[in-house]
Amino acid sequence: MANFTTIQSSLGTNEFSTNTERSIVKAATFSSGSPQLTQGYARYTIDAMALPAGSVFEIRRYLTAGPSGTQRQVDIATIRAAQVIEVDMGLVVEPWDVTIRLIAGTSPQTIGYVVKQDTNDVNAATAGASAVTSIQSGLALAATALSTAQWTNTRAALQDNLDVAVSSRSSSSSVASVQTDTTTIRGNVDVAVSTRAPAADTTTLLGRLTATRAGLLDSLDATISSVLARLPAALDGGGNIKAAVQSMASGALDSIFAYVVEAGAPAGSQTFLQGVRAMWSVLLRKASGLAITTPGTEHFRNGADTKDVVVATLGTDGTRAVTVDGT
C-alpha cells in the first residue's frame, strides 16, 4: 500500500527568476550532477492557480540513462494559464529530478509545488540483498516438511502424468462421440412440448373426459373412501377380523348347511349338509347288494362304516326305493 511522504514543497518566496532552471526536488538551482537518488514511487503537484497574466513556466523531468550516468530530459510541459498539474511518475529506480524555469513574466516570482515519494513498498528495485535473503529464509520449508519419504519417485512420476495434453487421455473419436450424443440429447429436449403430443390425440383425450365421467370418478372415490372407513371397525389392533365378525360369518355358514334343500318323499326332508353326506356316501363310500338280476337292497355306508346313510331297494323291473339318513 502506497505511503507517500512530502520530500519538498514551495518555499513561499520569489524563488523563480527568468531563465534560471530550479530543481523542485532539491529546492535549489538545477545541477545535472545532483539528482534525487532515492528509489520508490514518486509524484509531484504544481499549483499555478495564481499565475500572473503573461507569465510562462516550463516544467522538465530528468532521468539518468545509459552507462554514462548523465541525466537526460524525458519530457517537458509549459504552463501559460492558471491551472493545477499533478503527475504520478510511478516507480522510479534511476536517479531523477524535476525542474521549473520561468521563461516569461515578472521576475522573480513564486509558484506553488509539492513533491512526494513512497519508499516503503518492497519491490525488486528497492529491496536490498539482505531483505531478499530474509524473504527467502522466511519462505523456505523446514528440513522435514518435504522429505524424500513424502516426495518419492512414484509420486514424481504421477506428476509427470499430469503434464500432458488432455487430448492424449481420450481419442478424438471418443470426444466426437460424446459431442454427438450431447447434441442429440439437447436436440430432443430443446423442442416445443406440443411436438411430443399431436393436437389430434390431445383433443380426443379431452373429448373423452366428459363431465359425466368426471362425476363417476367422484362417486368411485367416495365409495372407496366409505369402504376404507368401515374396514377398521371390523379389524382388531393386530389387523385380524374381530371375534364378533367371525361369529357372524360362522352363523351364516351354519344356516347355509342347515338349509332344507328338498322336502318330502322319497328321501324325506334333507338339509344341504345331509344331502352332501348322502352324495358322498353313494359316490365314494362302501356299498353292497348292487346285483340287479334279482331284487335286492343296496346299502351305502358312512365314512366310519357305522351306519347306512343311503339304503336303496332295487326291483327287477328297474325300480329303486331309497331311504336316507344324513345325520
Average pLDDT along the chain: 79
pLDDT in tens, 78-136: 999 999 999 998 898 889 999 999 999 989 998 889 999 987 755 555 555 556 666 66
pLDDT at res. 44: 93
> Phi then psi for 103, rounded to 5 degrees?
-115, -10
Residue ranges for the chain with pLDDT beneath 50: none
CA–CA separation, 50 and 12 (whole Å): 13
CA–CA separation, 325 and 281 (whole Å): 11
pLDDT at res. 324: 86
The three three-digit cell numbers of residue 125, written as one number: 528495485
**Residue 54 CA, distance from chain mean position:** 72
pLDDT at res. 287: 73
The whole-model pTM stands at 0.39
Reported as half-sphere exposure (CB side, CA atoms, 13 A), residue 1 has a value of 0
pLDDT at res. 120: 74
Report CA-CA distances (Å) from 166 to 54, 171, 172, 195, 236. Answer: 71, 10, 11, 40, 69
Q: E-strand spans in the chain?
A: 5-9, 21-23, 28-29, 40-47, 56-65, 70-79, 84-92, 96-104, 112-118, 260-262, 270-271, 287-288, 296-301, 308-314, 320-324
pLDDT in tens, 283-298: 766 677 666 777 788 8
Class (C level, CATH) for 5-118: mainly beta
What residue segments make up the domains of the chain, in order of their start?
5-118, 260-324
pLDDT at res. 32: 79
